Amino acid sequence: MGPGNPAVPTPMPSLYTAAERARRDQTRWTLVQGILAPLQFFVFAVSLLLVLRTLVTEEGYALAQASILLKTALLYLIMVTGACWEKVVFGRYLFAGPFFWEDVVSMGVIVLHSAVLLAMFWPLSVQAQLYLTLLAYAAYAAYVVNAAQFLWKFRLARQDGARRGSHE
């Protein structure tokens, strides 16, 4: 509702300017992101199940570890291609206004996943492995936050497109 009149809805700010929307729709990076995002989420879900299975049964460690490597590789790939997308659409590689907080969370996710990767290649004590497990959980939780941000922005963009389609 509007600040002065509760009966008048406040218009939601547009996620993209007209020029940004045109660049978004014309760049191949939009398609790349549209393919990588669900693929990465699928790999995340499978990896999470494999990690949990290994923690519970102490079996399948190599498969769980491989899934973490694949998930992290996809994370790096989607971050690099997402930065290219942001450069084309907003003129900067990272931290463009509408995606600032999504990029901040992405950086945290990358730091956590990178720490997990580094720790995989060091001989670890049981206690260190437990700490690594906690770190992996934090990385996965941060990823879920990031995925939720992506879906929220996707929804905003669709609503904005629908609103503009009905007014143009």
Mean pLDDT of 68-73: 91
Q: In Å, how far are 10, 16, 161 from 1, measured between CA atoms?
A: 5, 22, 21
d(CA 42, CA 19): 32
b vs e for 115-153, b when ≥16 Cβ sit within 10 Å of the residue's Cβ? ebeeeeeeeeeeeeeeebeeebebbbebbeebbebbeee
Domain count for the chain, please give it. 1
Asked whether residue 101 is assigned to any structural domain, the reply reads: yes
Asked whether residue 28 is assigned to any structural domain, the reply reads: yes
Asked whether residue 12 is assigned to any structural domain, the reply reads: no
Asked whether residue 53 is assigned to any structural domain, the reply reads: yes
Asked whether residue 22 is assigned to any structural domain, the reply reads: yes
Residues 5-20 have pLDDT tens digits of: 555 555 556 788 889 9
Number of H-type helices and E-type strands within the chain: 5, 0
Residues 80-93 have pLDDT tens digits of: 999 999 999 999 99
- The whole domain housing 50 covers 18-162
